[in-house]
Structure 1
C-alpha cells in the first residue's frame, strides 16, 4: 500500500509539479489549496506525511498562516511528519518550526532529488516509528492481560524474554503435567514455580518446597517420602515426607539434578503410579501431587554420564520453562532494582549504568544482595558507586566503567553536582585520571 501525502499550498503550479513528481515515484498525493481544507482532510482520513506552504493570502508574507497551520496539524496528529515549503525569505521561520517538530523545510524553488530523498527518508522513519509504537502497544497489552488475568506473584519485569516466559508459564499452569524449570543459579526459578502453582487447578492446595541439593544424600529419601519411627538411627518418631504433605497440591523440587540414584527410582515410581512407601514401611501410600522441579544442571549431559535417569528426565520434562540469565534481559535490571530498594532509597544514574554494563554471574540474587549491602552503607539513602561491591577486580571494573565511558562520567558529574573530587571518588578514579577522561571525551565540567 502506497504512502498517502497531503499537499497544502495555494499555488496551483506548485501543487501540480509536486503531484506529478510524487505520482512518478508511486505515492498517493492529495492536494488542497487552503489551511481549512487541509485540516478538514486530516480529520477525515489518514495521511503519512504533510507538505505545507507558509503563506496562503496574497497580502501575507510573514509566514504567520503557515505557523498557525503547523500547530493546528500538530494538534490533530502530533506524530505526522511535516515538510515546510518556504520562500528563501522565510527560512528563519521555517528553521524555528523545525525546532518545534517540523521534519524538514524546503526552499522555493526546490531540488526534486533532494525533496524526494527527504520524503522517502521521513516516510521510512515514520514506518519504523509506527512499527515501534505498535510493538510497544502490543507489549503493553500483553503485560496488562497477564497482570489482570493471572496471579504473577509480584514479579517485576520489563523484558520481552520474561514476557514470553510468563505467557507460557500461565498458559500451562492449569494443566496437571510435571514442569521442569531450568536456568542458572539466582535467576528466580522458585518465583516461576510459585506462578505455576498460583495459577494451577490445585492453587488452593498445599505448596511444599524442598531444596534437594541442600539435603545430605542419606536424608533425601526420608525428606521426600517420610520414615517410620526407628527406620534409621536417630529417628524416634514418625516422619511425614514432603510428598505426603503435598497431597492434593504442588511439590516443588529444587536442584533436582542432585537427587540420588535410589531417590530417582522412587520418584519415578511416584510419577508413574502416585504411590510410594515410607522408609521402614511396606504400606503403600497413594497421593495426588503436581510436580514442579528445577535445576541449574545440564540433565542431558548427566544422562550421558549415567548420573541421571533418562526415563525420569522425560517424566519431569513434559513442559520445560527456561528462565534466562539476567545478563540476557538487562531491561529487567531497573524494575528489579526498584523492587529491592527499601522505601526512601534512591540510586544514582551512574550506578544504574554500571549495573547495565555488568554481567551478573549471580543473576537476580546477586543484584538483591548488592543492593542490600549498598543500603546499609548509604547513610543519606542515596546509593552511589562507592556503595557498590560488584565482585570485579580493579582491571575488570575499570573495563566495565570504560564500556559505558562517557555517559557514566557525565551522569556521575551530575549526581555529584560537578564536584570533581566526589565524582572521582565515586568512579574509583584519581582526580588526574578523571581529568584525563574528561579531556579524552571532551566533557565540559
Structure 2
C-alpha cells in the first residue's frame, strides 16, 4: 500500500487544503501529522494564548479527520527528526507541506528536504495555502519584492487566485502509527480570560456569519472602535483554520457586499504584502526595514513609561483601553493597534521591537510577518511612505470613538476620550517635539 504524509503547520483545516488533497490523490493512505515543535518553544513564540488556541485547533482537526475515517497523528520534538521518524514508521515515500515564509520556517523546510532525500523520500512543498498569492510571484521590474503597498495591490488585484478545493470525503490512515495525546486548552496556564475559541469549525462559522451579516458594512465601520465591526478572523487566518483564498473568493462573491467586500479584500492583500516583504527580507523580523537612525529612549524613565503602556495606565484613555483589551482577549481592534503602537514608538519614542515583543506575548493572531511589519509601518522604519506621521491619541479617539463606547468598555467609569484615569505620562506637545529632535521634521499629527 502506497503511503504519503501531510505535515500540518499553519494550515489546520480540511477545507481547501492543497497538500492534503495532493497526498490523497497520490497514494492509498495518508498520515496527517502535526509536530509540537520544541524549536518554537525555545524561541519564546509559543505563548499561552496561542498554545491554547492551537490546542482547540488540533482537537477540531482531529475530529474532522475522524469523521472522514482518519485521525491526526501528533508528535512532540524537533520537527525534522519527528517527520523522518514517522515517515519511516509508515513507509511514506512523500511528505507534503505548505510553504513557509519566515526564516525559521524556510530553514526547517530545507533541513527537512535534505533529511528526507537522504532516506530516499521526497518533500513536496505547496504554495498558495497560507496566502492568496505566494511570495515572489508578484515582483516589480527592478526588485525581488514590492516595497510599497499601492503598486503591489494593483498587481495583486489582477492575479487570479487558484480554485478552492473541497474537503475530502475519506481520509485513510495506515495502522500502526502511534500518536501523542492531543494538547488541551485546560492544561495551558496564563491564558487571557476572554480568548476566543479556536478550530476550523469555529472559524468557518465565523466566516459564514461575517459574509452574511458583517462584510457589507465593513467599508464604513471597520475603524469604528465602539461598533467592533471587524471580522475577527485574524487568528483563524494565522492558524490556517480558514483559507485566505476561499475567504477572498467568497468575499468577492458575497451578495450586496460591494464597497465592504472591496475594503475587506484590500486588508487581506495587506496580509499577503507583508508576507512577501518578509520572505524577501527575513531580517525585517528583527531589524529596521528602512533605518531612520533612531536614538530610542532607554533608562529608568523609559522603562517606567514602557511599563505604564503595557499595563494600560498611560493616562490616555484610548491607548489604555486598547492595552486592557489586549490583555483580556489576546486580541485588539486594528485601529486601536495602530494608536497604541504609535504611542509607544513615537509619542514615548521607544524602540518598536519592545512593543512588537509585547504584542507577540499576548496576541492570539501574533504573526511574525504581520506583527513585525505593521509595527515597523507605524514606527516609520518599514514600508510607510510617511515615516514621520504621528497618531494623536486624543484626536484618534474623537474621530473613531466619538461617544467613548470603546473606552468605557475597557475602562469602566472613564469619562471618555479626554478625562478620567491616571495622569498622562507625557504631554503630547512635549512628546512630538522630542520625536522631531530625535528623528527630524515630523508631519502634523493625524
- Compute the TM-score of the two structures, normalised by the length of structure 1: 0.20
Radius of gyration: which is bigger? 1
Structure scoring higher RCO (CA < 8 A, sep ≥ 6) equals 2
| Greater fraction of residues in strand | 1
